Structure 1
């Protein structure tokens, strides 16, 4: 399995355009940098960089890897900052606002677990799908999807939520398992009205590129929980966030459809008032929530 350190070196080589510069930055030799990038290519089984005497050029697999991995150092530093002094006793009160679905399906358990781990902490969590005014309502932390344009607030990206197409085993037994995205046009697919691209425009990935397939169905809603209920009833296919259907997948009440093709990813953000650095208890809670999302995503 490729080493994270080699991946970091690879991203540095691309950013600085030079093996020599990266060698200087890391106090190692140029040959070591070259060997570790070559090792990464060997382990992945693809060429990542075209090397010439004048410049370095990314291959197509290299482009994909770089864009997925370029923030790895920032994420790592944020994670380390969040848990610095984590063993110290955390105390205090946090008022937070989260989306209704996330609160009901995932965050209520995650946040209560956090309080159990830190007896000195109390958290008051409100469920609201509309964005709240943090300052006037004295809210310490908000979890939301989508980026926020507000200079008085900080929106820290904590995770990309992957969505899954799902159906009940009964529906699949009756109508068959679609083997390609195009085959969905012969199935009853539920629409999600809150999609800016259109309720029945489903996103897929091919060769690293996102494309849309227009599906159709007899039911649509602006509430993901309603679509989940319709899928559980065996009435069609739904495209939903993994955290919402996690338990259903675990229990076999729903099964994933075309998991290798799905391409819908939604950013999850922690939003808090602008300060130089949030309180340690808020950093720790954000990291705890991020770890919970990751644990679920890694299973599917």
Structure 2
């Protein structure tokens, strides 16, 4: 069977007009291109190119062969593109966990839309404030707030948020407007801690 790489090298030589220019275009050496063209001519049993120190020309057989090569290479590239484009549908399973508030508000609706786009993909979602062991619990993705604790995981920041200190108007009316962070200690307050 004919090596398609050799056909691609032959087409590159014809299109570039020289072995050196073809080698540059292909990211290889002139010697590699020359060797492959000689091998191709031996396999075909016909001379495709006439060479001199200053000039490169196609033989009659080389002209006809180039037309077929160019068409064949275009068809091969088209077949590869078509095969790759058919791989857009995702399948398998995707297991995701996220914190309860953010997860229920943002992650769950996004996962539902994603699952509709990829019906062959089984998506499972778990909300919780406890940081899960991704490996032990076979989770693919955890969406969390804060710094990455385990350096063996890969993390990407997907957003940011602000923390706000809030008080009801009734509390401020009773205790006055706070002027310093130390004044907080004297006020009744609620803390939210991960469980």
User: Which structure has the larger Rg?
Assistant: 2
Greater fraction strand: 1
TM-score of the aligned structures, taking structure 1 as reference length = 0.28
**Higher RCO (Cα < 8 Å, 6 or more apart):** 1
TM-score of the aligned structures, taking structure 2 as reference length = 0.43
